[in-house]
Amino acid sequence: MHPKNISIRDYTYDLPEEKIARYPLTERDASQLLVYKEGKITTGIYRNIDSFLPGNSLLIFNNTKVVEARLLFQKATGGVIEIFCLEPHEQYADITSAMLQQEKVLWKCLVGGAFKWKRGQVLEKKITANKKEILLHASYIEKRTDHFIIELSWSPVTISFAELLHLAGAIPLPPYIKREAEHSDAERYQTIYAQHDGSVAAPTAGLHFTDTVFEKLKKKNIQTDFVTLHVGAGTFKPVKSGIMEEHEMHAEFIDVPVTTIENILSHLDNNIIAVGTTSLRTIESLYWLGVKARKPEQSSGASIPEQASGIQLSQWEAYELAGHNIFPTDALSALIEWMHKNALKRLITKTRIIIAPGYKMKIVKGLITNFHQPNSTLLLLVAALTGEDWRKIYAHALQNDFRFLSYGDGSLLWVTNS
């Protein structure tokens, strides 16, 4: 069956409210770890994850950083309007350059209480930080189908947008964590290796990793490397359509150094393990971007050499490109060659790849991930790795008091159908 014809109703399970972790454990690496390999399930804890991984493996992490994307404005009448900054306006080439903007920025936003906000009305917020007063304004520019375009401007103008959010915003916890963000969330809803501002949700598989875990991996000669995928709010977008063909997969920015692609290429004979679904989507996207670089005539839209850095991957291209028989070595080599030809040290583009049952992993051999919501594209991804055994995995976790979703426990899943 083509993934377009999948019904999301076939990928559901009963998730009791009490199984959803509302807070993280005191110690990051004390979380439970479910290990699935060749149909068998064992358990441990993250602190000992090295014992479940072969030496010479390569773990790929997502080093995106969650930004304080929730801005609250109080009107003179007392009403509160919440602006949730989703992603930059399309006029910016990438999230990093948008985050570095000074004085003003255009952003795609969700607006809570939008009915209270009249077009043309400018909202104002004063913030005192480091004995300085910062003045922030929000202007309603445009309403689109599923978001608003908001202009945010501020003074002093020398502050970057990333700095402004840090001073004026709040961490956006996922909607299923039914509480307000607390001071501790600023640290705990962030990986210890977070580096590049841009996400509105954490790559939660990485929340369990500590310096102790990294040191144990190093001692076992397990290599680590990093990609960047900025997680958008679309990761929580429920699948409401009858079949997946009618579901629009969200686009997300990825940023991958050519040195990381070369590292992945050199480890193809070993076990390459994605830490998180975002890392997996990035790594597998690299294969298909390499296919497009190898045979530009197969790409949709502009041919590869005509694009500055933006070979983009659309939702269904992984199933429609004639590249399934191309070896990963050839695909990645073609991508590296194209980057060198275009003097690119980093590949910055967007991916909308949807990984669902029927997809065969091209590069990744294992996935470290948390337990995901019913009826979600993330659960489809897990099912693509493990087949129908996803039901057995989730049933085991529910029956053995594993904690679910972002602040919950996690799993190491080995690919069974590559």
Task: Give per-residue pLDDT as tens, 95-112.
Answer: 999 999 999 999 999 999
Read off the amino acid at residue 213: V
Backbone angles phi, psi at 361, to 5 degrees: -60, 135
> What CA–CA distance (Å, rounded) separates 190 from 174?
13
> For domain 3-65+190-414, is the CATH number 3.30.2180.10?
no
User: Which residues on adjacent β-strands are paired with residue 348?
Assistant: 255
- Range(s) within the chain of domains with CATH label 3.40.1780.10: 3-65+190-414
Read off the amino acid at residue 418: S
Q: Give yes or no for a contact between 229 and 65, defined as CB atoms under 8 angstroms apart.
A: no
The full DSSP string for 97-156 is: HHHT-BSEEEEEEEEETGGG--TTPEEEEEEEETTEEEEEEEEEEEE-SS-EEEEEEEES
pLDDT given for residue 234 in this prediction: 73
Q: What are the Cα distances from residue 348, in Å, to 153, 263, 356, 388, 417?
A: 26, 17, 24, 35, 30
Q: DSSP class of residue 182?
A: -
> What CA–CA distance (Å, rounded) separates 270 from 291?
21
pLDDT given for residue 303 in this prediction: 36
What are the DSSP E strand ranges found in 217-363?
223-229, 252-257, 272-275, 346-351
Specify the DSSP element, H or E, that contains 411: strand 410-414
Q: How far apart are the first and last CA of the chain?
A: 17
Q: What are the Cα distances from residue 237, in Å, to 15, 33, 234, 289, 394?
A: 17, 26, 5, 25, 21
What are the DSSP E strand ranges found in 189-341?
196-199, 223-229, 252-257, 272-275
Q: What are the Cα distances from residue 157, in Å, to 76, 98, 160, 162, 377?
A: 25, 15, 8, 13, 40
pTM for the full model?
0.92
Q: Which residues of the chain have pLDDT under 70?
A: 235-237, 296-310, 323, 417-418
Please state the length of the chain.
418
